[in-house]
């Protein structure tokens, strides 16, 4: 993905509109994408950190609110990964908290950026498809978002 396009994604007013429940849900989905292949690279961590920095919180709020949430989510993912039914339930629980088509589309775009931070693996692509479907995007819409970022 081109840096300018990625920067535009972070600077988007949409990410700044995420409520606390939406931000937490986005964090969970982002963590799922980078953990699903059971190998979190430094590049993925950097991308994740850049996305977190764009959420609508001050630094102390991020530390106080999102820090513990990230730790809890890591523990949940340790128990969830490897069980397709548990992953599906995890996705449903998170996607239900992201409201509005524009917020959901923006979340999908950022998840593709995470998948493409390093070479996307099958598991990341498959999980992206599951998340997009849970958000209510049809196959063509999901593919268009994926390909837009894949070709930059």
Question: Counting Cβ atoms within 10 Å, is residue 14 exposed (0-12), middle (13-18) or buried (19+)?
Answer: middle
Categorize the per-residue pLDDT at 7 as very low, low, confident or very high, splitting at 50, 70 and 90.
very low
Q: What does the pLDDT look like over 119-148, one tens digit per residue?
A: 888 999 999 999 999 999 999 999 999 998
Q: What is the pTM of this model?
A: 0.88
Q: What does the pLDDT look like over 42-89, one tens digit per residue?
A: 999 999 998 888 888 766 777 788 889 999 999 999 999 999 999 999
């Amino acid at each position: 993905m081109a840096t300018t396009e990625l920067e535009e994604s972070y600077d988007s007013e949409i990410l700044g509109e995420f409520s606390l429940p939406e931000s937490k849900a986005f964090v969970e989905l982002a963590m799922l994408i980078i953990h699903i292949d059971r190998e979190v690279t430094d590049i993925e961590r950097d991308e994740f950190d850049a996305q977190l920095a764009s959420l609508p919180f001050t630094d102390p709020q991020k530390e106080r609110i999102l820090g513990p949430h990230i730790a809890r989510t890591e523990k949940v993912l340790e128990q969830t990964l490897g069980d397709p039914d548990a992953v599906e339930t995890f996705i449903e629980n998170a996607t239900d908290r992201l409201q509005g088509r524009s917020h959901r589309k923006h979340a999908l775009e950022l998840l593709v950026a995470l998948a493409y931070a390093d070479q996307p693996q099958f598991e990341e692509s498959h999980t992206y498809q599951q998340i997009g479907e849970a958000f209510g995007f049809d196959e063509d819409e999901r593919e268009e978002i994926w390909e837009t970022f894949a070709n930059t």
